[in-house]
């Protein structure tokens, strides 16, 4: 027997599953970070009727609902209002004064999950009298998350941490000004939605956005391997205007990547960068 290839059965089955998803539906998870992806596919398998990963494939090819369930199982959509309040505080104090020099401001939240980050940012823009001049694009590959974000009705539990984080992030009013409660749900004030366009967009397989003044892509790249991170960083760099602001999550960085020389670091801790090369 030829022993050149030493790949375990589980890895082969995962490769086949990802290839099937890509070839049939165009979603490309092949360069996602393997340990976390393997864990999530394992969880999906455990909670399903299937005995093995290979068994999923024929159903997946026949039935788009299996794909949708897989996407929901594979994507990590955890988020919260003002996640990492220090990031929001620093953006408000250091970046917003600079944004005030622009008559129109294009903002892209790439990988917005269920929208808490988008509404947190929108509240700050509103409090700094910037909201009216903003076009805000909020995208995610997960359609179910985008629909929740668009609807802006959340479980009431988001309020406790949201109120605490809002204060830590330098919120200027009362957090209650921005939502009303109905039974066990909170509904975000409709006025915050006026300038936001929500849509599905896949950072791996879809094209870039143009002329962005600020891009937030926070806590998304951590799920990709280094090659894919670099590919997506190139797309995001292309989408930013010269002097545009780029924000990553605390565990992410541009340092290793092919675009690292295109940026000046404005905050090492909060991962805020400014594009200093025109390309
Ligand atoms: C952990 S959440 C981050 C949410 C928010 N940015 C935050 O920091 O709280 C990661 C999001 O990235 C999205 N995502 C993963 N791969 C993606 C891709 N290829 N294109 C667009 N979004 C993607 C997931 O669906 C998920 O909603």
pLDDT in tens, 83-113: 999 999 999 999 999 999 999 999 999 999 9
CB 225 within 8 A of CB 33: yes
Which residue's CA is the closest to the ligand 1 atom numbered 13?
Answer: 111
Delineate the domains of the chain, giving CATH numbers in brackets.
Answer: 9-74 (no CATH), 85-275 (3.40.50.150)
Q: How far apart are CA 159 and CA 185, in angstroms?
A: 10
H-helix or E-strand spanning residue 107: strand 105-110
pLDDT, one tens digit per residue, over 189-229 is 999 999 999 999 999 999 999 999 999 999 999 999 999 99
Q: pLDDT band at residue 4, thresholds of 50, 70 and 90? A: low
Give me the phi and psi of 187, to 5 degrees please.
-115, 120
pLDDT value for 135: 98
DSSP classification of residue 207: -
The residues pairing with 125 across neighbouring beta strands, listed in sequence order, are none
76 pocket-lining for ligand 1 (C-beta < 6 Å): yes
Residue 271 in tokens: 């991962």
Q: pLDDT band at residue 5, thresholds of 50, 70 and 90? A: low
CA–centroid distance, residue 191 to ligand 1 (Å): 25
CA–centroid distance, residue 25 to ligand 1 (Å): 19
CB 149 within 8 A of CB 113: yes
pLDDT value for 278: 85
H-helix or E-strand spanning residue 44: helix 34-46
Q: Report the chain's mean pLDDT, rounded to a whole number.
A: 96
CA–centroid distance, residue 111 to ligand 1 (Å): 4
H-helix or E-strand spanning residue 200: strand 196-200
41 pocket-lining for ligand 1 (C-beta < 6 Å): no
252 by DSSP, 3-state: which?
Answer: coil
pLDDT value for 46: 95
CA–centroid distance, residue 138 to ligand 1 (Å): 11
Q: How far apart are CA 126 and CA 229, in angstroms?
A: 32
221 pocket-lining for ligand 1 (C-beta < 6 Å): no
CA–centroid distance, residue 182 to ligand 1 (Å): 28
Q: Which residues contact 64 (CB under 8 A, 6 or more apart)?
A: 25
The residues pairing with 108 across neighbouring beta strands, listed in sequence order, are 137, 215
252 pocket-lining for ligand 1 (C-beta < 6 Å): no
229 pocket-lining for ligand 1 (C-beta < 6 Å): no
259 by DSSP, 3-state: which?
Answer: coil
For the CA of 145, the nearest atom of ligand 1: 27
Which residue's CA is the closest to the ligand 1 atom numbered 5?
Answer: 112
Residue 2 has pLDDT above 60, yes or no: no
Q: Which residues contact 102 (CB under 8 A, 6 or more apart)?
A: 133, 213
Number of other residues whose CB lies within 10 A of the CB of residue 172? 12
Residue 3 has pLDDT above 60, yes or no: no
For the CA of 114, the nearest atom of ligand 1: 27
Q: How far apart are CA 109 and CA 97, in angstroms?
A: 20
220 pocket-lining for ligand 1 (C-beta < 6 Å): yes
117 pocket-lining for ligand 1 (C-beta < 6 Å): yes
CB 188 within 8 A of CB 119: yes
CA–centroid distance, residue 103 to ligand 1 (Å): 29
Residue 32 in tokens: 């996602």
36 pocket-lining for ligand 1 (C-beta < 6 Å): no
Which residue's CA is the closest to the ligand 1 atom numbered 9?
Answer: 79
Q: Which residues contact 9 (CB under 8 A, 6 or more apart)?
A: none
Report, in this order, helix, strand and coil percent for the chain, each rounded to 5: 45, 20, 35
CB 50 within 8 A of CB 83: no
Residue 146 has pLDDT above 70, yes or no: yes
pLDDT, one tens digit per residue, over 153-203 is 999 999 999 999 999 999 999 999 999 999 999 999 999 999 999 999 999
Length of the chain: 279
CA–centroid distance, residue 180 to ligand 1 (Å): 27
Residue 276 has pLDDT above 70, yes or no: yes
Q: List, edge to edge, every strand of the sheet that includes 134-140.
A: 196-200, 134-140, 105-110, 212-217, 240-248, 272-275, 263-267
Residue 30 has pLDDT above 90, yes or no: yes
pLDDT value for 7: 78
75 pocket-lining for ligand 1 (C-beta < 6 Å): yes
CB 94 within 8 A of CB 267: yes
Q: Global pTM?
A: 0.96
């Amino acid at each position: 027997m030829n022993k050149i290839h030493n790949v375990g059965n589980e890895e082969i089955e995962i490769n086949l599953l990802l290839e099937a998803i890509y070839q049939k539906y165009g979603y490309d998870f092949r360069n996602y970070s393997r340990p976390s992806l393997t864990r999530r596919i394992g969880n999906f398998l455990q909670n399903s009727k299937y005995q093995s990963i290979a068994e999923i494939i024929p159903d997946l090819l026949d039935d788009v609902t299996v794909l949708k369930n897989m996407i929901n199982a594979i994507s990590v959509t955890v988020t919260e209002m003002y996640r990492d309040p220090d990031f929001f505080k620093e953006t408000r104090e250091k970046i917003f004064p600079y944004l005030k020099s622009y008559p129109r401001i294009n903002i892209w939240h790439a990988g917005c999950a269920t929208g808490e980050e988008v509404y947190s940012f929108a509240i700050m823009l509103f409090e700094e009298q910037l909201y009216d001049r903003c076009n805000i694009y909020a995208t995610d590959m997960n359609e179910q998350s985008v629909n929740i974000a668009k609807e802006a009705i959340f479980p009431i539990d988001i309020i406790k941490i949201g109120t605490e984080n809002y204060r830590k992030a330098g919120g200027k009013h009362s957090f209650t000004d921005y939502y009303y409660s109905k039974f066990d749900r909170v509904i975000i004030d409709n006025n915050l939605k006026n300038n936001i366009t929500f849509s599905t967009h896949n950072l791996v397989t879809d094209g870039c956005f143009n002329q962005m003044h600020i891009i937030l892509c926070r806590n998304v790249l951590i799920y990709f391997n280094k090659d894919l991170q670099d590919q997506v960083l190139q797309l995001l760099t292309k989408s930013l205007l010269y002097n545009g602001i780029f924000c990553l999550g605390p565990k992410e960085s541009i340092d290793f990547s092919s675009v690292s020389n295109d940026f000046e670091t404005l905050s090492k801790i909060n991962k805020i960068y400014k594009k200093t090369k025109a390309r």
